[in-house]
Amino acid sequence: MMIPVTTNSVIVFRYDRFRKCFDLSQYAPIMTDGLLYEKELQEYMEKINSIVEKGRPNTRKLCWFITAFVIVIVSVSIIIPVTTVSSKNTNFGLTFGLSFGLTFGCFVCFLLYLIRFSLDWQKKTTQMINEAKEYVKSKQQEFEARGLRWAIPSGFPAWIELWKDYKSNNVVVYDNEPIDQGEPLDPHIKSMSSSPLNPQYNYGENPYEVFQNEQSFNASFQQQN
């Protein structure tokens, strides 16, 4: 599974299977323009970590079962026939038939266990994802007020995403407060009247067009004088 990388609009936190928690070591408050501090992030992720740890299936039982299955298969399919061949006055047909029957029975039991384990895994994973979504939803309003949004991706719990919606909503951060980019930061700019000698330029215009307009205005102004 390909895990996405952190970009200018979204921060990706990967799950560390060895530490059994999401990796927050790469995060710094500057990544969210000071809207989310490390302490608050750690407190938030502690709950997510507990949900993942509680909802992950126990793979130790599967490892023990696979080990026991290998031992039984080796004993039934190899040791019994070799011991039978080396002994005298033995019914080889009965021995090999019994060995084959036990081996086949072990494979059937192993497949049934894998099917059951897979179903339990899917059930626990679904419950874990739903619980994580409910927690994210309960805390979402606090982050949306700052232009942030948590998202549970399809690959959860391999990673979790923090979207910086204030970036896409044409909002910048000024002194830790989001300000619409459409409003000038200097209040005096708004009060300036538009006139030929003091034109108000649209900062979203093409600079080349603005330059051409200035050239035309200067030429006409010189001709009048």
SS3 87: coil
Contact 13, 162 (CB under 8 A): yes
Query: Where are the chain's structural domains?
Result: 10-57+126-174, 59-122, 188-224
Question: Amino acid letter at 57?
Answer: P
Q: What is the DSSP letter of 30?
A: G
pLDDT value of position 146: 92
CA–CA gap between residue 92 and residue 85 (Å, rounded): 8
Whether the link from the prior residue into 157 is cis, omega within 30° of 0, is: yes
C-alpha separations of 140 from 12, 47, 145 in Å: 17, 14, 9
pLDDT value of position 90: 62
Which of these, 107, 106, 120, lies nearest to 61 by C-alpha position? 120
Q: What is the DSSP letter of 193?
A: P
Segments of the chain scoring below 70 in pLDDT: 1, 80-95, 169-225
Contact 130, 115 (CB under 8 A): no
CB within 8 Å of 93: residues ≥ 6 apart: none
H or E stretch including 18?
Answer: none
pLDDT value of position 175: 40
pLDDT value of position 68: 81
What is the CA 127 to chain-centroid distance, rounded? 17
Contact 156, 129 (CB under 8 A): yes
pLDDT value of position 183: 40
What number of CA atoms fall less than 13 Å from residue 70's CA on the CB side? 5
Which of these, 52, 58, 63, lies nearest to 121 by C-alpha position? 58
pLDDT value of position 213: 53
